[in-house]
Amino acid sequence: MNKIVFFISIFFFSILVKAQENSFIPQPESVVFTSGGFHLNSDTKVYVPSKYITDLQSIVTSELAKDTGLDISIHKGKTKVNSNYILFQKVKDASIDPEGYVLEISTEKIIIKAKDYAGLFNGFQTLRQAIPVGANGATAIPSMMVTDNPRFHWRGVLLDVSRHFQTKAFVLKQIDVLSSYKINIFHLHLTDDQGWRIEIKKYPNLTKKGAWRADRTGIAWWSREHATADEPKTVGGFYTQEDLKDIIAYAKTRNVEIIPEIDVPAHSKALIAAYPHLFCYDEVPEGVNFEVAVGGKAPDNALCAGKETTYEFLEDVIKEVAALFPSNYLHIGGDECNKSNWKKCPHCQKVKEDNNLKDEEELQSYFIQRMHKIVTAQNKTMIGWDEVLSGNGVKGATIMAWRRGKHTPELQAPREGYPTIMTSYLHSYISRVQGPTIMEPEGPNSVLPLSVVYNHEPVPEELTPEEARLVLGNQASLWGEFTPTEEHFEYMLYPRTLASAEVSWSNPKVKNWERFQHALETSHFERLKRENVNVAKSLFTVYPAFGIDQLHSKAIVYLETEAVGYDIYYTTNGDDPTIKATKYEGDFTATPKSLLKAGLFNKTGDLLGEITEVRLK
Residue among 561, 553, 560 at smallest CA distance from 594: 553
Active site residue 336: yes
- Judged against a pLDDT cut of 80, whether residue 404 lies above it is answered with yes
Q: What is residue 324's predicted lDDT score, i.e. its pLDDT?
A: 98
Report domain 154-530's class: alpha beta
Q: Which long-range contacts (CB under 8 A, 24 or more apart) does 573-579 make?
A: 576/611, 577/601, 577/611, 578/605, 578/607, 579/605
- pLDDT of 1: 40
Domain ranges of the chain: 2-148, 154-530, 541-615
User: How does pLDDT run across 299-341, given as a tens digit for each residue?
Assistant: 999 999 999 999 999 999 999 999 999 999 999 999 999 999 9
Catalytic annotation on 267?
yes
Are the C-beta atoms of 59 and 254 separated by less than 8 Å? yes
Model confidence, pTM: 0.95
State yes or no: is 153 an active-site residue.
no
* Average pLDDT value for residue range 262-273: 98
Q: Which of 21-25, 220-224, 244-248, 283-287 has the lowest mean pLDDT?
A: 283-287
Residue 17: the pLDDT is 44
Band of the pLDDT at 3, cuts 50, 70, 90? very low
Asked whether residue 2 carries a pLDDT value surpassing 60, the answer given is no
Mean per-residue pLDDT over the chain, rounded: 95
Say if 2-148 and 154-530 have the same CATH topology. Answer: no
Amino acid in the structure at residue 38: F
Active-site residue, selected from the candidate residues 43, 225, 312, 336? 336
Does residue 15 carry a pLDDT above 90? no
For the cut 70, the answer to whether the pLDDT of residue 502 exceeds it is: yes
Looking at the predicted structure, is the pLDDT value of residue 129 above 60? yes
Catalytic residue among 99, 192, 199, 386: 192
Distance between CA atoms of residues 367 and 334, nearest Å: 9
- In CATH terms, the fold of domain 541-615 is Immunoglobulin-like (2.60.40)
- What is the Cα–Cα distance from 462 to 468, expressed in whole angstroms? 9
- Spell out the alpha helix ranges (H) of 382-434: 409-415
127-151 mean pLDDT:
96
pLDDT at 4: 45
| The predicted structure's pLDDT at residue 287 | 73
- Report the share of the chain in percent with pLDDT over 90: 94
> For the chain, how far is it from start to end, CA to CA, in angstroms?
71
Query: Which of 164, 187, 267, 331 is an active site residue?
Result: 267
Say which CATH architecture domain 2-148 belongs to.
2-Layer Sandwich (3.30)
Phi, psi (rounded to 5 degrees) for 463 = -75, 145
pLDDT per residue as tens digits for the range 525-550:
999 999 999 999 999 999 999 999 99
C-alpha closest to that of 111 among 133, 138, 84: 84
379-396 per-position pLDDT tens digit: 999 999 999 999 999 999
